[in-house]
Amino acid sequence: MAERGDVDVLEDLLALESRLISAYEAALRREAIDTALGERLRDDEREHARAIEQALRHAGRRSPRASVPAPELTAALRTRTAFARYALDLEASALSSYAEASAAIANPRLRQPLGSIMACEAAHEVALREALGERILVA
């Protein structure tokens, strides 16, 4: 069984993934994101969530935390530009959380997989910057 700290880390990451999935699902429903891009990002986040849930089951997870939609999401769904900026902020938060988790988590077998999700979130940032017509890399 993993230490309690690892379970906390994984549950926080799962909560982040839930926010991302909800955001992309809502954006797709409201056509606030290009369909192909939104589906690709949503599907990636679903895979991340599924993997973290699996890790949590191995670690002896607690009940999943309830989450409510963020109020900022409603405003962000009004235009594609607003949503892309909102999603970019969420992805940046996810990237930072995965970077921290992949270094700090006690179970060494989880570090590389969490890092691989981190690298995917970095790619999502690039995709969203491209959608915004911005420079794809921040100098």
Partner 1 sequence: MAPFLTRREALGGAAAALVLASCGGGDPPPSTGPRPGSGAALLGSLLALEHAVVAAYAACEEALSGETLRNVRVIAAQEREHVGRLEEVIRDLGGEPPPGRSAAEYARTFPRLREPGDALAFAEDLEQRPVRAYLEALAELPAIGLREAAASIGADEGAHLAAVRVLQGLPAAQGPFVTGAL
Cα–Cα separations (whole angstroms), residue 132 to 45, 114, 136: 20, 27, 9
- Whether 65 and 11 have beta carbons less than 8 Å apart is answered as yes
CA nearest to 87, candidates 139, 14, 16: 16
CB of 64 to partner 1, least distance (A): 17
16 vs 69, beta carbon nearer partner 1: 16
Interatomic CA distance for residues 103 and 134, integer angstroms: 30
Q: Say whether residue 6 binds partner 1 (CB under 8 A).
A: no
Q: Which of 12, 25, 40, 85 binds partner 1 (CB under 8 A)?
A: 40
Binding region for partner 1 (CB under 8 A): 40-41, 43-45, 47-48, 51-52, 54-55, 95, 98-100, 102-104, 108-127, 130, 135-137, 139
